[in-house]
């Protein structure tokens, strides 16, 4: 057996992380150990979305949300990540790297240093690691031009979370800020300054914004959008000096193309952010005599291998064929290529699609293919609407048969269709202008895309890959496909295209995927919800008469029952809705395999008195029920015959219990740890909050079951992030996480907002839950709902936290109506003889129990005996 | 048909069967599910769900699939044609269906009908 090989990865940015992920997924860790050395104090995070850090509340919440490895370690123990590790030297002869963990890391920032101490001994110590394979993924550094005064206080770059923290701190005392550089990253930085409340300027040397991606028409359209947001754009100017004493007071600029001594102008600013491009961090390679490209970057071949066969370079620090790529997608591709090479695969990196689509300060911008019409004989088709702020340009081949590239500003919805047309060489239609004319003609845009067309350029996923995931791997939704192929999981720009491909496929095989929930309604659940709300319907008959066909089924009837329950707080067994309910709701219990039901009284937050425990025990004993503790911190009683349910519940209700809604698509439990009341580590009363939340949202009918959790400190003993909504105590209040679940496809909840006081927490939760109840598909958990929302978690945050739709008060009022209208379903049932009528074994023999139900005993409790299956198809 | 005639057993008032719902009845020791559709038609099938063996079909949701009145099993949701007992999700499966009539507002259940015979 061959000895295990050691891979050392220098750098834990997005690309280093992707390498580690790919190594695990593709089985490289079966033969190789991977040591990843990260220089920053944090594990890899999403630098592409860096600006969204500001949108989160203060504290480390934003960093958590950006993290690509929230737990800080890989599931595969053969991949080890060590942070705060600066590689100072590579010895290629000895095949070692020398690591220093800087003393500055000691005792600072957060508790992670303790982990570092555990792993590495004394910080500041020098460690030497041997390697068989070295992968350089050191990224790039911001380029700061040699401008006079660039070292003053108030000058920053825009690359790491630490940079953002510093900019945020400096902005507190500032009124205006300026960004040097009007490229993609510069505009992101400007966005950040606007969010920090600064009077914001952008200074760009070129005559237009984003000179690499946009032409003049697109650039000026973008300027109009951005100036409308209050950002002052200065194009065609160069920076002469940073003014001020020890701190910045302004920026002196003059027109580009004029000589020194020409008239200058001063832009007042107390914050200056340099965003004038990036340079590969290739110093390690230079020092160990590896060749670098003329414009920087470790020179590597098509397998990303340097001249030393043991050393690879990937991402922004690498220059395959002499060119460095400052985007994440090519970096990901390089990471995959190296893993492939180490598995003796044939993969090569031969250049990348530099297409870009993003939302800058709320404006859609896309540039793809030959955007500047550099191809011989190419022609341009342009559409511009200065009023709407839309600019679109297509570059087509001389004969008009093929699309070569294009630029979109203000409306990039066509990007998902257009960009694959470039890479696939698909023939253009006869009237290509239709592709960029305003919507209305948009229906014609859905062209047949060839299977080899690349749909997700970030993760190199083709249409064929997506179809394969759908046809052979059981994927049914965008969420499934994302998980399976990674399509749409990085920048998200192709999500709409992915969705179309899935829907087109299902339509082509005759499967009803359309928006309709079943054959009776060609409406989505969300549309049904709105229809019911607008018309004030209360009866299925009225809804199906006006908006459907037939007499309904086990899909639409429970869905409508749930919608009616969400909107009206009427008892679900009222005559108008009783027969719409799924069997669990119809009998207020969970049906089990032999036709008996389980009984689950609510135990809010998992807190219960000894007296109540005894009642549950006595009831179980008297009715011979099997008892088991549930995952939601309550007790399940199994084996109740349907006709026994009222008597059992009478006992429980009399003892002060109420329905636990274990049978409903509704709130189940809010699980808690014991919190600050008892726990020596707890910082807030998690049990108290869990009880309050469970009582607030009990009985809320929702598209799927809902679970919550509250942990009293960051140790997270309540596993709150495995719930649809999870609350974790902080020193200052509560962090709110949403979209988690266990089950077949576990999902970790992600941070919605941090350090909230209890009142704000509750209002955000009210809004979140009601928004979900209103807009999710049937049987869609919160995680997939968020995933499929256009804009994902950011969209949820806009609606819930920023109240961008102005719906906040309405959603809260709906929740208040629910809370006010709550009654215990079982108590109300017991008090209404007509509701009790259904709880009989046989309508003509109410005293005869179902003879097919029988039990045996196992481990001192009952167990069902499987009913004998009758021979099917034959008359009995 | 060679079915042996069995006396019709009175089971319950037709009003005791919810519209678009069902009840279970005991007929000659067998559990029978009696359903009433939206148009007021009454049907009877064996109450036993052939996929689980549990006696539960009367608790299913009554609706339609295409032109067929159906009940969907509360256990695993297969739809059964109320007129014939045929499972619409698995053509090899069906449940026994019973003659049924309403006389003076009372539901009467008769004998099991041969497979495939429609009312």
The pLDDT of residue A106: 42
| Domain with A83 in it | 5-140+280-342
Here the CATH number for the domain that contains residue A214 is 3.50.50.60
Least confident window among A444-453, A475-484, A653-662, A668-677: A444-453
Mutate to test the interface with B, among A553, A573, A835 (most CBs of B within 10 A): A553
Specify the higher pLDDT residue, A452 or A644: A644
A517, part of any domain? no
Strands, sheet with A199-204, edge to edge from the N-terminal-most edge strand:
A155-157, A271-274, A176-180, A199-204, A232-235
Q: Between chain A and chain B, how many beta carbons pairs sit less than 8 Å apart?
A: 135
Subunit contact B25:A520, Cβ cutoff 8 A: no
The pLDDT of residue A352: 78
Name residues 571-600 of chain A within 8 A of B (Cβ): 578-580, 582-583, 586-587, 591, 593-595
Q: How large is the C-alpha radius of gyration of chain B?
A: 13
Here the CATH number for the domain that contains residue A454 is 1.10.10.1100
Report whether pLDDT(A229) > 60: yes
> What H or E segment, with its residue span, contains residue A126?
strand A126-130
Q: Are residues A641 and A771 in the same domain?
A: no
Q: Which of A558, A850, A875 sits opposite B115 (nearest CB)?
A: A875
Here the CATH number for the domain that contains residue A386 is 3.30.390.30
Q: Are residues A106 and A252 in the same domain?
A: no
Subunit contact A553:B72, Cβ cutoff 8 A: yes
A520, part of any domain? no
Report whether pLDDT(A405) > 70: yes
Q: Are residues A680 and A828 in the same domain?
A: no
The pLDDT of residue A107: 38
Specify the higher pLDDT residue, A606 or A498: A606
Q: Are residues A843 and A717 in the same domain?
A: no
How far apart are alpha carbons B50 and B54 in whole angstroms? 8
Q: Locate A838 and state its tokens.
A: 């259904």
Domain boundary residue, one of A411, A430, A445: A445
The pLDDT of residue A121: 43
Domain segments of chain B as ranges: 9-112
Domain boundary residue, one of A390, A412, A445: A445
Q: How buried is A704 (Cβ within 10 angstroms: 0-12 exposed, 13-18 middle, 19+ buried)? A: buried
Q: How confident is the model at residue A448 (pLDDT cuts 50, 70, 90)?
A: low
Residue whose tokens read 């709110």: A736
A141: number of CA atoms within 13 Å, CB side?
10
How far apart are alpha carbons A724 and A350 in whole angstroms? 43
Name residues 46-65 of chain B within 8 A of A (Cβ): 46, 48, 50, 52-56, 59-65
Here the CATH number for the domain that contains residue A685 is 3.30.413.10
What ipTM is given for this predicted complex?
Answer: 0.93
Subunit contact A553:B64, Cβ cutoff 8 A: yes
Highest mean pLDDT among A11-15, A359-363, A390-394, B111-115: A11-15
Nearest CA distance, B103 vs chain A (angstrom):
16
Q: In chain B, which residues have their Cβ closer than 8 Å to the Cβ of A872?
A: 50, 92-95
Residue whose tokens read 């070295």: A134
Report whether pLDDT(A876) > 50: no
Q: Which of B26, B38, B54 sits opposite A551 (nearest CB)?
A: B38
Report whether pLDDT(A399) > 50: yes
Contact criterion met (CB below 8 Å) for A329 and A352: yes
Strands A133-136, A311-313: pairing kind? parallel
A176-214 pLDDT, tens digit each: 999 999 988 898 899 889 888 899 999 999 999 998 889
Nearest to A133 by CA among A303, A7, A288, A321: A7
The pLDDT of residue A515: 66
The three-class DSSP label of residue A49 is helix
The pLDDT of residue A490: 67
| Over residues B93-114, mean pLDDT | 93
Q: Which of A552, A586, A870 sits opposite B63 (nearest CB)?
A: A552
| Over residues A686-694, mean pLDDT | 97
Q: Are residues A635 and A688 in the same domain?
A: no
How far apart are alpha carbons A531 and A537 in whole angstroms? 8
Nearest CA distance, A592 vs chain B (angstrom):
8
Assign a CATH topology to domain B9-112: Rieske Iron-sulfur Protein (2.102.10)
Report whether pLDDT(A858) > 80: yes
Tell me, yes or no, if A833 comes closer than 8 A to chain B by beta carbon: no
A293-305 pLDDT, tens digit each: 998 999 999 999 9
Q: Are residues A804 and A780 in the same domain?
A: yes
A90-137 pLDDT, tens digit each: 999 999 999 998 655 443 333 333 333 444 445 567 899 999 999 999
Q: Are residues A161 and A18 in the same domain?
A: no
Tell me, yes or no, if A834 comes closer than 8 A to chain B by beta carbon: no
A786, part of any domain? yes
Q: How confident is the model at residue A638 (pLDDT cuts 50, 70, 90)?
A: very high
B45-83 pLDDT, tens digit each: 999 999 999 999 999 999 999 999 999 999 999 999 999
Contacts of A583 (CB under 8 A, 6+ apart): A591, B56, B59, B60, B61, B74
CA dihedral A445, A447, A450, A453 (to 10 degrees): 0
Q: In chain A, which residues have their Cβ closer than 8 Å to the Cβ of B15?
A: none
Q: Are residues A673 and A553 in the same domain?
A: no
Nearest to A409 by CA among A227, A547, A220: A220
Q: In chain A, which residues have their Cβ closer than 8 Å to the Cβ of B56?
A: 583, 591, 595
Q: Are residues A670 and A812 in the same domain?
A: yes
Specify the higher pLDDT residue, A54 or A323: A323
3-state secondary structure A638-706: EEECHHHHHHHHHHHHHCCCCECCCCCCEEEEEEECCHHHCCCCCCCCHHHHHHHHHHHHCCCECCCCE
Q: Locate A609 and state its tokens.
A: 């008195």
Q: Are residues A151 and A258 in the same domain?
A: yes
Q: Which of B18, B77, B114 sits opposite A875 (nearest CB)?
A: B114
Q: Are residues A817 and A708 in the same domain?
A: yes
CA dihedral A619, A620, A625, A630 (to 10 degrees): 120
The pLDDT of residue B73: 95
The three-class DSSP label of residue A467 is helix
Tell me, yes or no, if A557 comes closer than 8 A to chain B by beta carbon: yes
Report whether pLDDT(B1) > 60: no
Total tally of structural domains belonging to chain A: 7
Contacts of A610 (CB under 8 A, 6+ apart): none
Q: In chain B, which residues have their Cβ closer than 8 Å to the Cβ of A554?
A: 60-61, 63, 72, 77, 79
A775-812 pLDDT, tens digit each: 998 888 999 899 878 778 988 999 999 988 888 999 99
Nearest to A232 by CA among A361, A410, A145: A361
Nearest to A422 by CA among A407, A405, A434, A435: A405
A197, part of any domain? yes
A347, part of any domain? no
A516, part of any domain? no
A518, part of any domain? no
Q: How confident is the model at residue A388 (pLDDT cuts 50, 70, 90)?
A: confident
Highest mean pLDDT among A436-450, A525-539, A765-779: A765-779
Q: Are residues A209 and A270 in the same domain?
A: yes
């Amino acid at each position: 057996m061959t000895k295990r090989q050691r891979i050392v990865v220098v750098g834990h940015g997005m690309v280093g992380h992707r390498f580690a992920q790919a190594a695990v997924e593709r089985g490289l860790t079966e033969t190789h150990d991977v040591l990843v050395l990260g220089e920053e104090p944090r594990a890899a995070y999403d630098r592409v979305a860096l600006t969204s850090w500001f949108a989160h509340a203060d504290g480390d919440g934003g960093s958590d949300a950006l993290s690509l490895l929230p737990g800080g370690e890989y599931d595969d123990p053969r991949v080890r990540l060590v942070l705060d590790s600066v590689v100072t030297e590579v010895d290629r002869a000895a095949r070692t790297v020398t690591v220093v963990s800087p003393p500055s890391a000691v005792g600072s920032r957060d508790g992670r240093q303790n982990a570092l101490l555990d792993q590495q001994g004394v910080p500041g110590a020098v460690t030497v690691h041997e390697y068989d394979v070295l992968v350089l993924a050191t990224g790039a550094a911001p380029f700061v031009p040699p401008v006079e005064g660039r070292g003053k206080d108030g000058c920053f770059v825009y690359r790491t979370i630490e940079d953002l923290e510093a900019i945020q701190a400096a902005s507190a005392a500032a009124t205006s800020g300026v960004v040097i550089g009007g490229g993609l990253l510069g505009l992101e930085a400007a966005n950040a300054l606007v969010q920090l409340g600064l009077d914001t300027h952008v200074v760009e040397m070129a005559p237009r914004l984003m000179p690499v991606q946009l032409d003049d028409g697109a650039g000026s359209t973008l300027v109009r959008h951005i100036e409308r947001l209050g950002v002052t754009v200065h194009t065609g100017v160069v920076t002469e000096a940073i003014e001020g004493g020890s701190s910045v007071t302004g920026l002196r600029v003059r027109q580009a193309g004029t000589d020194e001594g020409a008239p200058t102008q001063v832009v007042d600013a107390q914050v200056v952010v340099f965003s004038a491009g990036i340079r590969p961090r290739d110093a390690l390679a230079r020092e160990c005599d590896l060749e670098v490209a003329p414009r920087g970057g470790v020179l590597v071949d098509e397998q990303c291998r340097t001249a030393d066969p043991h050393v690879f370079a990937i991402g922004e620090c690498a220059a395959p064929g002499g060119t460095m790529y400052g985007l994440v997608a090519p970096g990901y591709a390089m990471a995959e290529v190296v893993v492939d090479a180490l598995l003796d695969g044939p993969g090569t990196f031969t250049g990348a699609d530099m297409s870009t689509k993003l939302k800058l300060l709320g404006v859609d911008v896309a540039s793809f293919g030959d955007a500047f019409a550099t191809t011989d004989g190419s022609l341009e088709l342009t559409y511009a609407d200065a009023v709407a702020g839309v600019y679109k340009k297509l570059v087509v081949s001389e004969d008009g048969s093929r699309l070569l590239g294009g630029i979109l500003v203000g409306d990039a919805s066509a990007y998902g269709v257009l960009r694959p047309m470039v890479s696939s060489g698909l023939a253009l239609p006869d009237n290509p202008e239709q592709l960029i004319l305003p919507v209305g003609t948009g229906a014609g845009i859905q062209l047949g895309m060839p299977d080899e067309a690349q749909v997700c350029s970030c993760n190199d996923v083709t249409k064929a890959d997506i179809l394969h995931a759908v046809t052979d791997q059981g994927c049914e939704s965008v969420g499934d496909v994302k998980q399976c192929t990674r399509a749409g999981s990085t920048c998200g720009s192709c999500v709409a295209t992915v969705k179309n491909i899935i829907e087109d496929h299902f339509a082509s095989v005759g499967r009803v995927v359309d928006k309709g929930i079943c054959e009776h309604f060609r409406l989505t659940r969300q549309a049904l919800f709105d229809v019911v709300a607008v018309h004030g319907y209360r009866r299925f008959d009225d809804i199906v008469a006006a908006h459907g066909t037939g007499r309904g089924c086990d899909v639409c009837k429970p869905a409508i029952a749930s919608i009616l329950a969400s909107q009206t707080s009427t008892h679900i067994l009222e005559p108008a809705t009783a027969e719409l309910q799924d069997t669990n709701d119809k009998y207020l219990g969970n049906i089990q395999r032999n036709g008996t039901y389980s009984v689950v009284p609510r135990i809010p937050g998992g807190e219960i008195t000894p007296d109540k425990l005894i009642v549950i025990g006595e009831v179980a004993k008297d009715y011979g029920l099997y008892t088991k503790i549930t995952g939601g911190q309550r007790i399940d009683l199994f084996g109740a015959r349907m006709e026994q349910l009222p008597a059992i519940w009478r006992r429980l209700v009399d003892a002060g219990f109420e329905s636990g809604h274990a049978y409903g698509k509704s709130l189940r439990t809010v699980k808690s740890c014991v919190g600050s009341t008892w726990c020596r580590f707890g910082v807030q009363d998690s049990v108290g909050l869990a009880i309050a939340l469970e009582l607030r949202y009990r009985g809320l009918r929702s598209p799927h079951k809902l679970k919550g959790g509250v942990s009293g400190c960051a140790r997270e003993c309540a596993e709150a992030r495995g719930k649809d909504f999870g609350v974790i105590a902080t020193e200052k209040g509560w962090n709110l996480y949403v979209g988690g679940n266990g089950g077949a496809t576990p999902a970790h909840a992600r941070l919605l907002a941090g350090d909230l006081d209890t009142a704000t927490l509750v209002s955000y939760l009210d809004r979140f839950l009601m928004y979900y109840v209103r807009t999710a598909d049937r049987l869609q958990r919160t995680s997939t709902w968020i995933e499929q929302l256009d804009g994902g978690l950011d969209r949820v945050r806009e609606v819930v936290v920023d109240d961008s739709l102005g719906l906040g008060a309405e959603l809260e009022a709906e929740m208040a109506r629910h809370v006010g209208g709550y009654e215990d379903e079982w108590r109300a049932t017991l008090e209404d003889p007509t509701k009790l009528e259904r709880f009989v074994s046989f309508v003509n023999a109410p005293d005869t129990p179902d003879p097919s139900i029988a039990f045996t005993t196992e481990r001192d409790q009952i167990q069902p005996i499987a009913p004998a299956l009758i021979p099917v198809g034959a008359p009995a | 048909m060679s079915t042996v005639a069995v006396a019709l057993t009175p089971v319950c008032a037709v009003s005791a069967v919810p519209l678009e719902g069902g009840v279970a009845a005991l007929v000659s020791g067998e559990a029978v599910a009696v359903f009433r559709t939206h148009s007021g038609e009454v049907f009877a099938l064996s109450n036993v769900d052939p996929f689980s063996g549990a006696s539960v079909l009367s608790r299913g949701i009554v609706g339609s699939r295409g032109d067929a009145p159906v009940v969907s099993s509360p256990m695993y949701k297969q739809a059964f044609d109320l007129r014939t007992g045929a499972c619409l999700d698995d053509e090899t499966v069906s449940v026994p269906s019973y003659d049924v009539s309403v006389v003076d507002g009372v539901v009467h259940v008769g004998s099991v009908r041969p497979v495939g015979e429609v009312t």
